[in-house]
């Protein structure tokens, strides 16, 4: 039986006071459920077993069902006149889930089982190259034996090997992990769309695009506008890298005027190309430093790498991480159990229980990853005093950009300041092109991939891409935006999107594209705040309290206002702008155009 007060409310028109009481109750309930879900999720990611998977599924389902039910109940306040702050909370409540469960309890439980099982299968994914004749496969069950490789080991092959056959074997071995998910993913799409439609959205993709303080179609046009700003730089980089790969492997492996085979770019998804920098380094250029080698020379362990990330923030006036961060985080892959190695940052209690989950090695790439993940934690702590529904990034791209904006400040002068690089080893202006090229191989190369993952999912959710063309449409988008091709024949028996963590984990990906844009905007603004004068790519604001104060003003606002207003606090602009990327890489673009003169450009 419903309480008398609820019956009474049902008989009269709801008021602003009713709405305020509803949101207060909702935030209290979600705070408790989020804590339970975070705790279960942490254990499931760091101790993969059938039991932890089941516990995580139950806690995730309870949270998701509560959000969905509250969002549905909240629709009775749609026509009530509310303050902007309260109305914003109702809007964010509707947008609180990446995969809103249907109202039907059985379907809600099914959706949760599917999502947790796909993520667990990804985490356990194994390619057994020398197994018995009937079991050479990408497996999702059992621990990897001596003849079997998981994603970290397969990725290492793509970094270290220069043999096309070895690279192809590792690439195709990992990409087998997606195929068993295909039918479950199709069912996941159906259930997610049903939940989104119950909340009033056209489909789950439209719901994702509604999370940016503008209509969904306008947001789609906005990201296209940003891509057009940076596309000429990417196309120039692609042409240069392709030409050098032709020199390395020959035109029979790499077409001189076509797409680049995906297994040759040093990354399992060809999303960042920095691992093949030695192949494309300018001939005769002064040697650049390797941060991983500098760290190893100082006997820095993986926890020490994370300490450098913390130290950058504290130099700007932020308080250090709490002791529990160092006690409870996972920095390396345990030897005694399976874990999800994909790096992530956690705010378990929405207050002070901050953690990272990573499987780090002492490398340049992981040094950047450590800065990226701890950047999430500093952001999470900055907005901890906001109400529950405002505890989040101004938009999801903000959250991804913070640590990377700090990492852009890892310049030679910064490395000298923290004692990693001797003054005599600091490269002069003659090293600018090699350093910018090395940066572009990750930062610029990523841009089209960051865009296309969700463009594919938007098509899937809308029905434009059906299960019959999942793989074809995936590679069509990769051809259109990246100029990258599969290294072997693919068919609809494959499900290559499933070999990318964010697809089975259902993590929206456009945030990473936005983060690539925002991190340069943030970086330029903090350089200006620090008083730096000079070429943008040489700036470091390490130690600048003024830059830290401006950054903190943006971070502590959380999601309490439309993101353009939050952006203004740091940058003085209310518009996303990729011009900071083109300014940063302007010397490189000039050099790339010179190298590409008379050679094929485009694909």
| Annotated catalytic residue within 175, 238, 263, 376 | 376
d(CA 564, CA 193): 29
| Annotated catalytic residue within 512, 523, 542, 584 | 512
d(CA 303, CA 361): 10
Decide if 512 is catalytic: yes
Decide if 7 is catalytic: no
| Annotated catalytic residue within 175, 372, 399, 537 | 372
Structure-block tokens of residue 10: 């049902």
Radius of gyration of the chain (CA): 24
d(CA 178, CA 492): 11
Q: How many CB atoms lie within 10 A of CB 199?
A: 22
Q: 300-331 as b/e, with b when 16 or more CB fall inside 10 Å?
A: bebeebbbbbbebbebbebeebeeebeebbbb
Judge whether 158 and 167 are in contact, CB under 8 Å.
yes
| Annotated catalytic residue within 57, 400, 501, 537 | 400
| Annotated catalytic residue within 179, 343, 499, 505 | 343
Decide if 343 is catalytic: yes
DSSP annotation of 254: S
| Annotated catalytic residue within 220, 238, 373, 431 | 373
| Annotated catalytic residue within 342, 371, 399, 537 | 342
Decide if 66 is catalytic: no
Q: How many CB atoms lie within 10 A of CB 28?
A: 11
Q: Is the dihedral of CA 365, 370, 373, 379 positive or negative?
A: negative
Helix (H) or strand (E) holding 28: helix 16-46
DSSP annotation of 478: I
Judge whether 61 and 33 are in contact, CB under 8 Å.
no
Helix (H) or strand (E) holding 280: helix 277-280
Decide if 501 is catalytic: no
Residues marked as catalytic: 342-343, 372-373, 376, 400, 502, 512
């Amino acid at each position: 039986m419903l309480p008398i007060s609820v019956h009474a409310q049902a008989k009269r028109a709801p008021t602003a006071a009713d709405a305020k009481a509803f949101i207060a109750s909702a935030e209290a309930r979600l705070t408790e459920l989020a804590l339970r879900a975070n705790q279960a999720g942490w254990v499931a990611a760091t101790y993969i077993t059938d039991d932890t998977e089941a516990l995580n599924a139950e806690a995730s389902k309870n949270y998701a069902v509560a959000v969905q039910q509250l969002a549905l109940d909240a629709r009775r306040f749609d026509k009530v006149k509310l303050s902007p702050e309260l109305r914003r909370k109702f809007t964010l409540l509707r947008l609180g889930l990446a995969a809103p469960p249907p109202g039907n309890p059985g379907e809600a439980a099914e959706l949760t089982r599917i999502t947790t099982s796909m993520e667990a299968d990804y985490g356990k994914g194994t390619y057994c190259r020398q197994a018995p004749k009937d079991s050479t496969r990408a497996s999702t069950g059992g621990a990897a034996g001596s003849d079997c490789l998981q994603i970290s080991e397969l990725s290492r092959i793509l970094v270290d090997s220069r043999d096309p056959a070895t690279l192809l074997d590792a690439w195709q071995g990992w990409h087998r992990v997606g195929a068993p998910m295909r039918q479950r993913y199709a069912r996941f799409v159906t259930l997610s769309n049903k939940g989104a439609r119950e909340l009033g959205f056209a489909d789950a993709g439209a719901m994702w695009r509604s999370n940016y303080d503008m209509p969904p179609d306008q947001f789609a046009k906005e990201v296209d506008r940003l891509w057009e700003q940076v596309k000429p730089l990417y196309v120039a980089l692609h042409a240069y890298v392709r030409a050098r790969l032709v020199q390395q492997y020959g035109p029979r492996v790499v077409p001189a005027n076509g797409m680049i085979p995906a297994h040759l770019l040093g990354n399992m998804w060809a999303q960042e190309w920095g691992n093949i920098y030695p192949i494309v380094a300018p001939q005769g250029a002064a040697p650049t430093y390797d941060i991983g080698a500098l760290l190893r020379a100082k006997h820095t362990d993986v926890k020490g790498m994370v300490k450098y990330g913390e130290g950058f923030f504290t130099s700007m006036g932020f308080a250090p991480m709490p002791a529990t961060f160092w006690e409870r985080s996972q920095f390396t892959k345990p030897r005694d159990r399976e874990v999800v190695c994909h790096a992530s940052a956690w705010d378990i209690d929405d207050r002070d229980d901050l953690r990272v989950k990573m499987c780090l090695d002492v490398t340049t790439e992981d040094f950047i990853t450590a800065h990226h993940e701890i950047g999430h934690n500093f952001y999470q702590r900055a907005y901890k005093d906001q109400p529950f529904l405002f505890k989040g990034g101004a938009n999801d791209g903000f959250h991804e950009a913070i640590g990377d904006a700090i990492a852009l400040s890892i310049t030679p002068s910064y490395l000298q300041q923290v004692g990693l690089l001797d003054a005599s080893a600091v490269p002069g202006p003659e090293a600018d092109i090699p350093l910018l090229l090395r940066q572009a191989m990750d930062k610029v190369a990523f841009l089209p991939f960051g865009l296309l993952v969700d463009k594919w999912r938007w098509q899937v959710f809308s029905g434009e891409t059906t299960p019959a063309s999942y793989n074809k449409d995936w590679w069509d988008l990769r051809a259109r935006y990246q100029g990258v091709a599969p290294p072997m024949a693919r068919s609809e028996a494959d499900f290559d999107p499933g070999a990318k963590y964010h697809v089975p984990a259902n993590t929206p990906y456009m945030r990473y594209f936005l983060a690539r844009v925002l991190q340069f905007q943030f970086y330029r603004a903090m350089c200006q705040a620090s008083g730096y004068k000079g070429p943008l790519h040489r700036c470091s604001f390490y130690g600048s309290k003024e830059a830290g104060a401006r950054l903190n003003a943006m971070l502590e606002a959380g999601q309490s206002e439309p993101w353009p207003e939050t952006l203004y606090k740091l940058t003085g602009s209310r518009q996303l702008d990729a011009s900071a990327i083109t300014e940063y890489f302007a010397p490189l673009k000039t050099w790339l155009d010179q190298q590409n003169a008379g050679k094929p450009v485009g694909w």
